[in-house]
Amino acid sequence: MSRAEELVATFDDFTGNYKREEMEEALTLREEITPLLLAILDDLAAEPERYAAGNHHAEIYAVALLAHFREIRAHLPIIRAFSIPDEQREYLWSDMLTETLPALLCRTSGGDYTQILKIVRNRDAYEFLRSSAMEAIKLGVACGDLSREEGIALFASMFDESLAESGEFFWGALVCELLDLYPGELIGEIRELFAKGYVCEGDVALEDLERTMAKGLDAVKVELERKLKWQLPEDVHDYLSSFACFRQKGLANNTPVSSLHTATNKKEKARNNRKQAKKSKRNNRR
């Protein structure tokens, strides 16, 4: 067994502690370990039930390393790995879907946001997968992959009533991402969404739009740069710890991974509220 294979096996075996030294070594073995990390995502996407039942944990390290490497070959495997059925997705990825997938998509896009836009425009895709794809486009603007004009143009193309029903999270997510970019050019379109009742007030309110417009473009840009530093840190250890909370001592090994950071902004609260509503509906049907 090669050293790269040994590291992957170590990552897959959960011990309750972040394996910092092993991660440091993995960084020096990029060429050897990358195919193994890609294989993990392919395996997970192909047979998510079997992967979840096998009590694997290497997927957390895999996406962190591949994104840190900015590995373009990982872009589609990551999309497929997060597009699995709801039950396995919740178990394997939990809040990573909403809190960290945008950064994974951005880092592995190679500046090409074609596949990300396809997710947004796919009505059959899970609503939070679509919203994370929107956020990835915003991060693409923040990090310079896309000019602000290019990003705004992509968001403008989403004002298409065939993409979602009135009241769906799609519209609230669209408004939220535009608020982070300063939506001056699309203010009329956003106001129309509110006027038609397309945006759920629990997701984002018209008052949020007014506050953002009052701040001005320069102030919003500063806030976006601050968010970028948090979501796309260059240090791989900071990057991993920003989205993965390793299970606390005493919890069972089959406890789903959850995000390290508690969602505090309005957008994350809206997402969490909708997730809880879905769980309640499922419980009531039992």
pLDDT at 245: 44
250 vs 69, higher pLDDT: 69
Q: Is the pLDDT of residue 121 over 80?
A: yes
User: Under DSSP, is residue 212 helix (H, G, I), strand (E, B) or coil?
Assistant: helix
pLDDT at 227: 85
Q: Is the pLDDT of residue 41 over 90?
A: yes
What pTM does this model have? 0.86
Mean pLDDT of 1-25: 92
Least confident of 43-47, 134-138, 167-171, 241-245: 241-245
pLDDT at 235: 81
Q: Which two tokens stand for residue 10?
A: 């170590």
Q: Which amino acid is at 241?
A: S
pLDDT at 269: 60
CB-neighbour burial class of residue 162 (10 A; exposed 0-12, middle 13-18, buried 19+): exposed
Mean pLDDT of 129-144: 97
| Residue labelled with tokens 């005493």 | 250
Least confident of 83-92, 114-123, 251-260: 251-260
pLDDT at 233: 76
Cβ within 8 Å of residue 261, ≥6 positions away: 99, 242, 243
Q: Is the pLDDT of residue 151 over 70?
A: yes
Give per-residue pLDDT as tens, 1-11: 899 999 999 99
Q: Is the pLDDT of residue 250 over 50?
A: no
Separation between Cα atoms, residue 78 and residue 81, nearest integer Å: 5
Per DSSP, the residues of 105-143 read: HHHHSTT--HHHHHHHH-TTS-HHHHHHHHHHHHHHHHH
Count of alpha carbons within 13 angstroms of residue 281, beta-carbon side: 6
Give per-residue pLDDT as tens, 195-218: 999 999 889 999 999 999 999 999
Supply the DSSP symbol for 245: B
Least confident of 10-19, 95-104, 109-118: 10-19
